[in-house]
Amino acid sequence: MEDKIRQALSGDANAFLQLIDAMSDHMYKTAFAILKNDEDVADAIQDTIISCYEKLGTLKEPRYFGTWAMRILINASLHILKRRTPCLDASDDVLSFIPAVDDGFSGMRFKELLAMADSAYHLLLTLYYADGYSIKEIADLLDMNENTVKTRLKRAREQIRRELHESRKVSCES
Amino acid sequence: MSRVKFPANHDRFGCGMSAYDTFDRQLFFSFQEKEELPPCVEEAKKAAFEKVLSLAAQKEVIDMKNLKTTGHLEKASKKERKPTGLGKWRTALSAAAAAALFLGVCAANPAFASKIPLIGRVFEAIGNSYTYSGNFDDYITPIAGETDEDALSQTVNGMTVSLSETYVNNGYLYVSFVLETEEAFPETRADENTRPGVLCLGFRQSVLSADFCSGTIMLPGMSGIEARLMDDHTAAGILRVNLSQKDRNGEAWSDSMPDDFSVQMHISSIFGERDAGSQPRLPEDLYAAYQDGLTEAGISLEAGFGGKSASAYESLTEEQKEIENQLFSRMMADYYERYSFQDEYWSIEGPWDFTFDIHKNSEGVWSTVIDTRDILEVEELRVTKTPFEISVTFDRPYEPFRKNGIHFTGGDYVVVVFDEAGEYMGVAMPDVPIQDHPISTVTLYVCDWSEYMELKGYYWSPDYEEKAKEKTFQEYLAEHALYSTELAF
């Protein structure tokens, strides 16, 4: 993987696209965790791919390619979210403004699970469980304190556990 | 990415929960289940991939022009792409310097001066710096609307968008525009890497529709726009739309476009990428802490503007690099913590809605279809030459495919174009600009996609001029191409 990243850094566009292609699923889930709307996710991903290519020169360490690209994606997604949420300003906790999952998307497993947790936890859950980032990496990505990430993940997890328990109880009763 | 592993046997939450917690595992594997990308996301990804390949092809042309004029490739600029610690800050400085230089040029050059109206002369003002430069004077027409003049210049939220000129041939629509702001024009990064001076700005959720069909075409985000700063309040640019792309009904406008039609352009918002120079400067105390850390660890790096030189960095041991990296990451994490979520983009919301008339200009347009079904895995190559571009299209197997164990999205052929003098013009993705190339004849070489990724190294190599004495890139490609043909216009 690192070889591929070095190829991309040396100007091999094909290597860059292969890296991005391999990240597509994670990019989709992460952008969706913020935007909850496929059209907006499409915009965010398109801008991110082009922006990443143009900014390759700013990537410090090849091994951080994934984190670096994901940060660009998160920023692009938050920018779109801010456009949709005019009341949001720089001092707000942007995560708390992430909308809840639309019922129309509930056919997919990860979206179902997301829907069981408060929307403020969606991005954290996706970064942790779908993208495999560590607590520290998430804290760096989102400019948050590590303890805050831990606490929020714990709460999210408890919410999902409770919701799953409730839904199983309902299905057993019916 | 392959980085994803379930980190077993440690306390992931730091709060007493075991990694062997079954519920945690269930969550992990459920989130890991692969999702099919929705069609609109897949389309957006494809468009971005094409744009990246097109930018890469343009960069090759720029690099090769450097090679031809200076006799060597700009290796220094390539080194800047490698890890250079605080290179970001150096980049910010050079971008700011470039912007200042450009503004200086604008101020000194009456052609760019804002007092001369730009409307009706955007192509002239942008001139030869435009990627598809050429003698547009013979082809462009001032934009004419169905209603009064004001309808072609609208101000919303302090941003005035004015349409200027248009040109439509059989495959592409060009529309020039001027953006003016009451306040200073938002600081916007210029793309110094692939398109020097071109602002990284675009239209978002914006569409084009026409009276002869019901489908709409998404306007390109950043990709199809070349805008440049004209003065502190004004940017001018050219929007270029490929009319061979499928609209939302799956039809290409170029297949059924009449000679005269009316177009509606809806621009939902205009956005741009902030210049890195507009980000808050790295606080001195953070940089001092980083330097102190280096000193404590006995690491010496030549300090240029805010950092180390690439050569000094490369001379460090792996252990020293790791220490330096930790110090750097800490510094940047602290920086981001102070300036939480510095928004990298600006945007101004519209909408701006325009209706204008188009007259298709087929002058200088030449087309042919080459039957390749017995030679290649595509039935035909469709070649079109206009006064400004040569496009080669074929029905690419766009579905993702796997080759030699590598997952590809995109075409499996590339078409490389050479002018009549044997000069490389670029890879048709799906087109190459003609610019000042002599093209009474051109030669097309169709190569296997992955093989070409290796072949192009021949042309990129620093000693190409030497190698070319023995064998030019064209001759080299002729030996490896799957198919080639010469076309006379």
Summarised one tens digit per residue, pLDDT across range A22-74 is 888 889 999 998 888 888 898 899 889 988 888 887 776 777 888 889 888 98
Query: Which residues does B24 contact at the CB level (< 8 Å), separation at least 6?
Result: A157, B12, B17
Candidates A43, A51, A60, partner chain B, best to mutate (most B CBs within 10 A)? A60
Residues of chain A in contact with residue B328, where contact means CB-CB under 8 angstroms, are 60
Strands laid side by side in the B366-371 sheet? B366-371, B380-385, B389-393, B431-433
Position A75 pLDDT exceeds 50: yes
Instruction: Provide the shortest C-alpha distance from residue B35 to chain A (in Å).
Output: 6
| ipTM, interface predicted TM-score of the complex | 0.78
According to DSSP, the residues that pair with B201 across neighbouring strands are: B272
- Domain borders along chain B are 87-277+345-359, 281-338, 366-488
Which among B348, B387, B354, B471 has a CA at the least distance from the CA of B133? B387
**Rounded average pLDDT over B240-252:** 78
Radius of gyration of chain A (CA): 17
Q: Which of B37, B222, B449 sits opposite A50 (nearest CB)?
A: B222
DSSP B342: -
Q: Which of A18, A28, A47 sits opposite B35 (nearest CB)?
A: A28
pLDDT band at B404; cut points 50, 70, 90 = very low
Q: Retrieve residue B379's tokens.
A: 């039935």
Residue B368 has a pLDDT of 95
Helices B39-70 and A13-35, axial angle in degrees (round to 10): 140
pLDDT band at B468; cut points 50, 70, 90 = very high
Q: How far from chain centre, in Å, is Cα B148?
A: 35
**Rounded average pLDDT over B403-415:** 56
Percentage of chain B with pLDDT > 90? 31
Position B108 pLDDT exceeds 50: no
Q: What share of chain A is helix, strand, coil (3-state, %, to 5)?
A: 80, 0, 20
Neighbours of B9 (CB within 10 A): 8
Q: How far from chain centre, in Å, is Cα B289?
A: 37
Chain A residues 116-135 within an 8 A CB cutoff of chain B: 125-126, 129-132, 134-135
Instruction: Report the C-alpha gap between B82 and A5 in whole angstroms.
Output: 11
Instruction: Provide the shortest C-alpha distance from residue B171 to chain A (in Å).
Output: 23
Instruction: Report the C-alpha gap between B102 and B126 in whole angstroms.
Output: 13
Position B457 pLDDT exceeds 50: yes
DSSP A129: I
CB contact (8 A) between residue A39 and residue B28: no
Q: Compare B35 and B177 and report the one with higher pLDDT.
A: B177
Q: How far from chain centre, in Å, is Cα A129?
A: 10
Q: Which of B3, B31, B193 sits opposite A126 (nearest CB)?
A: B31
CB contact (8 A) between residue A9 and residue B81: yes
Residue B484 has a pLDDT of 95
Residue B231 has a pLDDT of 92
Q: What structural domains and CATH numbers belong to chain A? A: 2-173 (1.10.1740.10)
Q: Are the beta carbons of B211 and B261 closer than 8 angstroms?
A: yes
Residue B318 has a pLDDT of 76
Q: Which of B7, B45, B88 sits opposite A45 (nearest CB)?
A: B45
pLDDT band at A157; cut points 50, 70, 90 = confident
Instruction: Give me the phi and psi of A134, to 5 degrees please.
Output: -80, 170
3 state SS of A55: coil
Q: Indicate left, alpha or beta for B324 from its phi (over 0: left) and psi (-120 to 50: alpha).
A: alpha
Candidates B11, B32, B343, B461, partner chain A, best to mutate (most A CBs within 10 A)? B32
pLDDT in tens, B294-348: 888 888 775 433 344 445 666 778 788 778 777 876 776 677 666 654 567 788 9
Which among B198, B164, B193, B194 has a CA at the least distance from the CA of B179? B164
CB contact (8 A) between residue B14 and residue A135: yes
Q: Which residue of A has its CA nearest to B56?
A: A13
The upper half-sphere exposure of residue B359, i.e. CA atoms within 13 Å in the direction of its Cβ, equals 10
Tokens 């560590």 appear where?
A134
CB of A94 less than 8 A from some CB of B: yes
Instruction: Report the C-alpha gap between A50 and B200 in whole angstroms.
Output: 10
Q: Which H/E stretch holds residue B368?
A: strand B366-371
Using CA atoms of B427, B432, B436, B440 in order, give the dihedral in degrees to the nearest 10: 90
Residue B88 has a pLDDT of 32
Q: Which residue of B has its CA nearest to A140?
A: B333
- Name the superfamily (CATH) of residues B87-277+345-359: bacillus anthracis domain (2.60.40.1630)
CB of A143 less than 8 A from some CB of B: yes
Angle at A156 between CA A82 and CA A42, to 5 degrees: 40
Q: Which of B35, B51, B337 sits opposite A110 (nearest CB)?
A: B35
**Which of B70-84, B148-162, B416-430, B455-469 is the least confident region?**
B70-84
CB pairs under 8 A between A and B: 200
Residue A159 has a pLDDT of 85
**Rounded average pLDDT over B449-470:** 82
Query: Which residues does B114 contact at the CB level (< 8 Å), separation at least 6?
Result: B230, B231, B233, B234
